[in-house]
Structures are given as C-alpha cells and as structure tokens.
Amino acid sequence: MDFTAIRQESREGVLSADVVSGLQEGSAQEIEHLMLGLIPVAAERSMPNLSGYKVGAVGQGESGCFYFGANFEMLGGPLAFTVHAEQSVVMNALKHHETGLKHLAISAAPCGVCRQFLYELADAADLSIVLADKEPLRLLDVLPGAFGPADLGLVGGLMKSELISLAPLEDNENGLVKEAYTAAMHSYAPYTGSAAGIALRLVDDSVHFGYTIENAAFNPALFPLQFALSMMALSSHDPSDIKDVVQVEVDGSAVSYVPFTEELLGRMAPECSFKNLVISRTA
C-alpha cells in the first residue's frame, strides 16, 4: 500500500468508502487484512506523552468508511483521563456522524476498559474484533457476562441515540458558542442527563469539538474535553495550539465538567480563554 497517499487522504483520520473500495480492489485483500495493514498509519497520530507507547486502531463504519484512532495521554492530567485508541475510533466515527461500527482492527486484544466502552454501542453484539493471525472475534466473545445499556432499561445505545433538545441561543452568539451548543445536543448522557459540549478554536482558526459520552458502568465515560483533544491529535495538532474554548452544559446537570476542563486547560493551554455557558433543556 502507498502509505504516503493514504496519509494525504486521511488528514482527519478518515478514509471515505470510495477510497476504501479502491484500496481493497488495488490490493486484492480482504477488508480485515486491509484494516490491519493500516494500523501503523493510525498509530502515527498517537500522542503518548507519558508512556511513549504508540497504539493505533482502525474501525469500519456501516457507511464503509474507515476511521483511525490513536491513544492520547494528557501531560499533567490524571492517568484516568487517557483516551485509548479504540475509544478514539468511536469518537472519530461519531464526529463524522457514523451510525454504527462493523469491524474494529487492533494490534492486540482490547483491554477491559475498552471492552466495556465498546459494549455501550447500540450494535455491540455484532461488532467484529479483528486481530492479526487470528479469526475475527465478536465483542461478546471477549466480554462474557457483559453489563450494558439494556441492563439499565435503555433501548438503543451509543450511535443510535436521539439529539438532545436545548433552549435556543441568542441570535448574536458567536460561531464558537454555536459549535459547542451543537456538540452538547449530540451528547450521549442517558444515565445522569449531564449533557455537555465543547468547542476549541486553534491558532490556525480551525475548530474541534467534543461532547459527553456516558457508560452504563459510569467508568469508562468520556467528558467533552477528552473527546476534543483526542480529535485534535488525530489532526496532528498539539494542545498548546488552543486559543479559545467554549463549553455548554445543561442546567441542573448532576455532573459539571468545568473543574476538570479548567484544570486541564490551565496545564495544557494556559494562555487560552475559557467560557462556560449553562442552557436549559426544552424536553
């Protein structure tokens, strides 16, 4: 495979279904082998600021697109704030409005945290785990006795949830506020209702967003800044590039992400501005 061309095609960590089809035809490989071959390209987006250990993963969505993921470690933050490559794949797919994952290729079997995180997917039972030199596994093969959304009475799951209805913004709100507001509407927070979204403007004026992803087991959940920073890393940006930040939280939420966000930004991007808005639900 021509990795140089693939790097150009996947600047945001995504390969379109058409590109994937072309790669498969050109290489005459099964889709699983193609995904395994691209793991090193995904791992190049890793930011292992603490361990120095790069991990990559590649997922295929229902659309046929490939989504890259890479681990992201927060220098100055708790180890628990680390984003794993498998989680990064899911967030990348969500960022691009994917509705489900069919395959997930990784260099080693997923850790317990990732198995629990992946089980939150609405179609988790059908997710194929692709490992080198092994037959593909179903997620449930590596997570016996699983506990997930259905055990708490939830119908559906991650990637199949409805948008959250929020009170409208003022007409004069700026674009960054609108990005954070839209992100908050996409939050997945069925257990605590603590929806939140964030938008980061970088020094090159590009914008990256993130939002809450809860989990039936509470851990492993992800908060908006984790999501946004991980997606920045996939686009080869450093946290020091952050210029302005807006976060939107829902009024009356059981959890506020402001303390974590302020602390991490203070360590990783101390010169950036930060604004938090609280908005009511409408339903």
Instruction: Report the chain (283 residues): mean pLDDT per 10 consecutive residues.
Output: 78 93 89 96 95 97 98 89 97 97 96 97 96 93 95 95 94 91 98 97 97 96 97 93 98 96 94 97 86
Would you state the pLDDT for residue 5? 79
In the CATH scheme, what is the homologous superfamily, with its name and number, of domain 175-279? Cytidine Deaminase, domain 2 (3.40.140.10)
Q: What is the pLDDT of residue 212?
A: 98
List the domain boundaries for the chain: 3-152, 175-279
Q: What is the pLDDT of residue 8?
A: 79
Asked if residues 100 and 121 have their Cβ atoms less than 8 Å apart, the reply is yes
pTM confidence score: 0.96
Give catalytic residues, as residue numbers: 86
Q: Which residues pair with 275 in a beta bridge?
A: 246
Q: 3-152 and 175-279 share one CATH topology?
A: yes
Q: What is the pLDDT of residue 27?
A: 84
Question: What is the pLDDT, as a whole number, of residue 249?
Answer: 98
d(CA 121, CA 135): 22
Determine the pLDDT at residue 141: 94
Answer for the pair 70, 107: CB distance below 8 angstroms, yes or no: no
- Can you identify the CATH homologous superfamily of domain 3-152? Cytidine Deaminase, domain 2 (3.40.140.10)
